[in-house]
Every structure is written in structure tokens, then in C-alpha cells.
Structure 1
């Protein structure tokens, strides 16, 4: 989820914690738990700072080790080590318990996004991405804001946020049902589909669709359960040519391939260099596929420049590549 949603989820969890008699009986414990749930709901995303280095490092590592099983265990201990000296009289177990729930909830809800997490590390590095909830879901965020306002104006925080979480469980179940319904419709339209990837948008009944068959890729959208296919591409495996083999050694393309499950590729021979482009098919927007990896190589197959990330025009891509070569 986005940062704002994680923050309001942390506040909500802190309010819910007041139903715990141990937390509610001690003002210091109440305060420390609310602070801990807000921090715990944010701390797995500390790897966002990797974006300051470059997109390749960020794409390869964001929601990776910081969202793994060891991290879920260790983050609450780190938070306790910081907070307990400030609140020495609190109940240590209950402070740890609610902090752990906050960290776990952060990772758990991220699994429902199309981006996903490597939540099963170290057992597997596979990305777990259910594609049920958009990174920012306006309904989820708005429900949290309404519940927080109820708390501000005097409602009991415990029962207010308990009600909120019950409603959210129902909402998630409804989204799961809706996704299954869309998948059945896609399968009916493309019966030879071997994999169907749905990416939710901020609109409830609007989904991006990427479909793989044995020999083709299909890209489309579902709106109000009506399926529309925009593009169809022949599915060509990446061949073992010298140009593509050299390009795949590049860090940006390597990061792209570690993240993107469905893509097509292109090779262009320019005047004095090759351009290799890999295009993620999950994020079609206004007829454009903005998430790409591009590598330029000289005629001796040395990498000149490369880029991976979101690009919405060829001019911007050219500027990015020009900046990287200067």
C-alpha cells in the first residue's frame, strides 16, 4: 500500500489496541503502543531510500528483504529497543505484541497489491502479488479517515476500529470475489490462457489485464465486468543472441527481469549501436506501455547506457539516456 494508507492503518491499529485491558489500564503503555503501531506500520518501507541510489537497486530490492519473514520478526525488536528506554514502565510483552501485529499487517496487505512482496524469503525469492487491491485504494483510505474522525470527536477507539477492521475484511473478500469473476470472464474469452494477471486500478470495477497463452500475449481492460482486448503480441522467447546476452548483463535490465513476469522485447540496430528494449505489458496506459528497460550497446557489444523505470514519452527516455551517458 502507499505511505498514507500505512500511516492511517497504524493509527487504527493503535486505537484497536485499547481493547487490550493491559494497554488500556496504563497511559504510558497506551501511548507507547500507539507510537509503536504507527512506526511498525511504516518501517518495512524503509528500503524506499534505495530509490536515491538508482531505479535498478530500488526495483530489485524494494519490498524484498525488509518484507521477509526474518524482517517481520526483527523489526518489532528494533522498535522495542528504541521505545522501551523512553517508556520503561510499560508492559514489554504487550508492546511487542502490538508492534509485531503492525509490522505483520504492513507486509500482509502489501501482498494484495499487483506489485507484491518477497514475503516468503528466505524460503523463496518469488514475488507474492495477488493483484486484488490497488496500491492506493480510495475506499480503504477513506474508511480509515472516517474512523479516525469518529475517534477525534469522542467515539470509543477500540470499538470504532474493531468495526472498521470487520468492514475491511468484508471489503477484501468482496474484492477477491470480484477478481475471480473477472478472471472467469477472461478465461471464457481466451480459453487457452495459461496465465491471467490482473492489476487493480483506483476504480472499483476497472482492472488492467495481461494474458499469456502458449504463443501470444493479450493486453486489455475490464470495466464493469466487460472485457476489452486492446493489443495482441506474438510470444517470442528471448533468444540466445550475442546482443541480447550482452544486454542482460546490464544491472537495469537484470532488475527489470527480476520483477516483470510478462513482457515483450525489441532489438533495433541503429547507425553505430544497438538498442535493446524490454516492455512490461501489465501497465498499459492511454495506448502506451510506460514501464520499460532500455539498453544501448556499441557494435562491440559494450554497454553504453541503460535505464529502467516509468517513461511516458520517447523524448523523456532520450533525455534519461543522454543524462546517464554524460
Structure 2
């Protein structure tokens, strides 16, 4: 029981920072998969888990608890670097996000293969060979996805030779990939199906002005969190009757013609921040609700 508890807790505890979402999106975006997934936590989490569980299960061997919690924590952090969100896995040496992007956050093949392996094991197959075979196949799957991503990037480079940065991220669909390209003067957003590239939209890459509106908006924590996380975004300023709106839009997550990941800041005529929001929004009505202060 102690080993099982160490493995289960270790596989989940790096995501304990998800509780920050209860506070606000800004802190969640800035910190999720940050320090909790860093190199020091590879040692700290297993030590904490093993120490606590050793008192609960005194018959267990401390080193066994330490080993299995370390394996669970390490696998969690290691697996997370392969999706588009990534982690700060090399912190404290660098605060950059390590995100290879060729495995989706939820991958049907990985999930299904685990289900099949567990069923085979429950039917009486020995655990060692069963799961050794499973993870051998998954290693080949990861390699195949990495090669496919590289081939798509090469195809994008042929299509847009002046590309400065090419982001190719997996989707829940095996053959479909999100594509976002940065050149000196433009952003391109599209999809790849196998190696066929479709560019859906092209945006001018405009420098962010250093005016009073932008300077005031940048003081907002939601916008600051968005900029710290987003790699490819555009911006716009809209003067409406109720306020001036500063909107930053992440171009990596186009879905059904909509860009759901945004940061919006409302400013009054004196450039005071009235309200703001960052996160996933799929309709203007929901965005307005997020930006409208609740009357007390």
C-alpha cells in the first residue's frame, strides 16, 4: 500500500499548483508547471512524500518509497515537456519553458495503449513484460511524432522561406497539427494535415507602440501574465463608449476561426485600469461578463 500511495501521489503532486486557478488566472498562468516542475523538485517532492508515507506505513522501506515516488515525479515532469504547454524543467538554471509540442495534452494512443496493457495484466499476463512492451512501443511512438513534427516544419519552411520561428503543435487528432509562423513582417496561422500545409490567416506583425495606453495596460497583472506565457500574439486598441480596450490574442490556438486565448484590459479616459481578464474565452458575451465588475 505504501508503494502504491507513493506512486499515485508522486504522479500527481507536481500539478498541485493548479490550486492557483482558484485565486486568479494570472497567477495560474505565470506559475503552473513552473517551480513545481523544476529540477530541485525532483528531489524535494520524493523526500516529502516518502517522509510522510513512512510514518503512515512504518512497515514500508523508506528507500523503496523514495525510489517509487522519484520515478513517479520524474515521469510526470518528463512527459509534460513534450506537449505545447511545457514546463520550466531546467529551472533554476533557466526560467525558459521547455515545450516540444509533438504530444497533445490528451493523446488517444497513449491513453488507449495503457488501457489495453492494464486489461492484459488483469487477465493474468506478467506485469514486467507487459509494461516493458508498452513503454517500448510508446518510446517508438514519441520518436515517430517528433519526426513527423520535424517533417511538417520542413514543409512550412519550404512554403514560407523567410520564417523566423515556426511553431508546430499537436492536436487531439492524430494527423492534424496547429501551425503558427513568425516572419519579419507577418504572422501566419494555419493547420497541417499529414504534410499538407493550409494557411488560414495572415497578420501584419506590428511593433507594440510605446504610448500611454499601452504603458498603462502593461501595468495590469493579467496582461503581464499573458505576455510571459504567449510566444506568438498580436494586439489591438479599441476605443469604445464605455472604455478603451487593449486586447492581446495568442495566435497558436485557432479553433473554428476563433482565437480563444486572450488578455484584455479596460481603461478609462484617465488611463486607469477598470478591469481585465486573461484566459480562454469562446464568445464575446462571456468576455464581457468577465470584464464587467459585479455590482454589490
Regarding TM over 0.5, the answer is yes
Within 2, Cα distance between the matches of 1:222 and 1:320? 33
Residue aligning to 2:250: 280
Report what 1:220 is aligned to. Answer: 190
Matched, 1:260 2:223: no
Alignment of 1:12-27 (within 5 A): none
Q: 1:86 aligns with which of 51, 56, 68?
A: 56
- The match for 1:5 is none
Structure with bigger RCO (C-alpha 8 Å, 6+ apart): 1
- For residues 233 and 223 of structure 1, what CA distance do their matches in structure 2 show? 22
Query: Does structure 1 residue 203 correspond to structure 2 residue 188?
Result: no
2:259 maps to 289
Q: Displacement of 1:117 after TM fit?
A: 0.7
Runs of 4+, deviation exceeding 3 Å:
323-326
Number of matched pairs: 296
Query: Would you say the 8 A contact 2:42–2:73 is kept in 1?
Result: yes
Instruction: Give how far 1:316 is off.
Output: 1.2
Pick which of 279-288 and 97-106 moved more: 97-106
The answer to whether the 8 A contact 1:134-1:202 is kept is yes
Match of 2:7 among 15, 18, 37: 37
How many angstroms does 1:325 deviate by? 7.2
d(CA) in 2 for partners of 1:53, 1:272: 27
The within-5 A match list for 1:108-257 is: 108-257=78-227
CA-to-aligned-CA distance 1:111-131 (integer Å, 9 cap, x gap): 001011111111111111111
Question: Superposed, which structure 2 residues align to 1:280-319 within 5 Å?
Answer: 280-319=250-289
1:24 matched to which residue of 2? none
Q: Does 1:46 align with 2:53?
A: no
How far apart are the structure 2 equivalents of 1:37 and 1:282?
A: 34
Partner of 1:102: 72
RMSD of aligned residue pairs (Cα, Å): 1.2
Deviations along 1:220-245, one digit per CA (max 9) or x if unpaired, are 00012210000000101211111001
In the superposition, relative to structure 1, how do residues 35 and 151 fare at CA in structure 2: closer, same or farther (>3 Å)? farther
Mean alpha-carbon deviation: is it higher for 31-40 or for 44-53? 31-40
Cα distance in 1 between the residues matched to 2:89 and 2:96: 8
**Counterpart contact for 2:275–2:293, Cα < 8 Å:** no
Deviation at 1:73, TM superposition (A): 1.2
What is the TM-score normalised by the length of structure 1? Answer: 0.88
Q: Match for residue 57 of structure 1?
A: 27
Equivalent-residue separation in structure 1 for 2:130 and 2:3 (angstroms) = 17
1:108-161: CA deviation from partner (whole Å, max 9, x where unpaired): 110001011111111111111111100000100111111111122221112211
Distance 1:88 1:170 in 2: 40
Give the superposition deviation at 1:217.
0.3
